[in-house]
Chain A
């Protein structure tokens, strides 16, 4: 379970998204291009855990790819601390729904990958064992990824992303493919990692309970074009009780905002 955290040193950096748009040009066939993000602005302070929820097509993943530096914004600026984001970097880790472990590397080699890529493996070899312990995979160092269960694979992916001590960790529905029980356990794991390192985390999720359970603030986005509809702070102490009245109240507020409450049938939630 998540222990009450003593204030650890904050490893994360603040993240600023200012008036950012992303326009995808028309691909053969489509008459017009698509505006995936329309002047999105967001500030995440250092060490904060912010969730982004919204229906598919609202540009959540696009926003994450922009912050990761994997795509370039059409308009606006993105900053980590005071540094503008121009290209991918080890400072901004990314974990996908599919763990995307390199199948040709063992668990240990996968976790080492970031150190090898930055050419610091020799100096920081000790980190590998530490992170394997942190995610509870010591016994599986020499196993290949396809022998792991979904939850274990995702833990390797988390360790692989965190071994670089990123200032911002981007999580694109990392627990989306897991079964309900594994997912709840992994939520605690991610929170534990977050509290240990105080990395700034941006978590894209489809699961409103997950967003409430984990994050400091919840960003609700709407599609076509992708915009931020509302930002809701979660003012509950951790560990949070998934069945407390506060929790359930917040949950119904968010569903209402997203027009999924089910009370007004005329709503245009899609």
Chain B
């Protein structure tokens, strides 16, 4: 299953030979069939609009003395123009720009609209809704603590997630494969599993020697249930004929479990891994608020305690980027492991 990039390319080559031009093309945005100049100009135009709002529209609300937000807009403008300049020369960049430019352009413009609604027109009340300078400025000025919080969240999340997944794979395969384990394990799983991991917090705080360990335990528990459930159901629904074929090929039980049942259950296992990741984010944020005095979840409520809403939104933005990056990594792993499904299912 560990295929290198060359191998993958070879596979695609063969695939396209077997089945003539069809599903092997890369994801294409709806607008990418023909590149219009508006598409490529989206980022510079968006940045210019936002800058115009920033510098030309008079402010009604007091604004932080920093100038990080216009700096960011200038950087975006510069990058957008640089992209335009390099556009004819780099094939990879062309693809990326065709796909990303409309989205990024609209996002930049949204920042301008936001500033218009907050700092300029004062439509949303302070201190709950600061303008872009308030948010972006506080992100930059507090970068040390934010970085530290992100790092702690990452450590906590990955340790809890991996411990949970490892235990879940063991229990899931056991329950799915052995009828006795199924008899005893399934009722336990069905009764205890649906309790949200966060509901165990009072017990976890009593049992665990430290807040950090209790948080790791809670995240593991949150991941454990969906992964176990889906692994078990995937294993037990392995097509009997695969197992029959393997037996007539001389397979021993270890082969049947590790080389037939588990690969056959892989699509299911990945659904469990994705569900578990979702619940682990939730549990992470709650656990950081309760016992652990670090991490992004803690940072958000700490900043809220000081009524520094700029920092709250800054942390939320970091959180969004952090969680979606982890999600993307898991998608990449799935694409790698389940590459054989390409063409079987709607990818």
Contacts and interface: CB of A to CB of B under 8 A. Distances in A.
A98 B15 CA distance: 21
Interface in B246-285: 246-252, 255, 259-260, 263-264, 266
A144 B1 CA distance: 12
A143 B3 CA distance: 13
Contact of A164 (B239, B249, B266, B339): B249
Contacts of A114: 249-250
A117 B246 contact: yes
B344 A146 contact: yes
A100 B244 CA distance: 10
Interface in A35-68: 68
**Residue from the set A94, A140, A146 with the largest chain B CB neighbour count within 10 Å:** A146
B343 A100 contact: no
B255 to A, nearest CB: 5
Given A89-B250, A146-B343, A116 B259 contact: yes
A113 to B, nearest CB: 6
In the complex, which range does the number of interface residues on chain A fall in? 35 or more
Given A96-B241, A142-B11, A142-B14, A113 B340 contact: no
Given A143-B14, A148-B18, A92 B343 contact: no
A117 B251 contact: yes
Nearest to B260: A102
A93 B11 contact: no
Interface residues of B, number: 33
A163 B27 CA distance: 40
Contacts of A94: 244-245, 248
Interface string A117-153: 1100000000000000000000110111111100000
Contact of B241 (A98, A139, A148, A170): A98
B11 A144 contact: yes
A160 interface: yes
A72 to B, nearest CB: 13
A147 B15 contact: yes
Contacts of B19: 147
Contacts of B200: none
Contacts, number: 97
Interface string B1-15: 100000100110011
A168 to B, nearest CB: 10
Nearest to B266: A104
B249 A103 contact: no
B249 A113 contact: yes
A109 to B, nearest CB: 9
A90 B255 CA distance: 13
Contact of B242 (A102, A117, A160): A102
A93 B249 contact: yes
Contacts of B255: 116-117
A147 B339 CA distance: 13
A144 B10 CA distance: 12
B248 A93 contact: yes
Contacts of A93: 248-249
Interface of B: 1, 7, 10-11, 14-15, 17-19, 239, 241-242, 244-252, 255, 259-260, 263-264, 266, 339-344
Interface of A: 68-70, 88-90, 92-94, 96, 98, 100, 102-106, 113-114, 116-118, 139-140, 142-148, 160-161, 164, 170
12 contacts: A94-B245, A96-B241, A102-B260, A104-B264, A114-B249, A114-B250, A117-B250, A118-B250, A143-B18, A144-B339, A147-B343, A164-B250
7 pairs of A and B residues whose beta carbons are closest in the complex: A90-B250, A88-B247, A114-B249, A117-B251, A94-B248, A104-B263, A118-B250
Given A106-B340, A117-B246, A144-B339, 15 more contacts: A70-B247, A88-B247, A89-B248, A90-B249, A92-B248, A96-B245, A105-B340, A113-B249, A116-B255, A117-B251, A139-B17, A140-B14, A142-B10, A143-B14, A161-B248
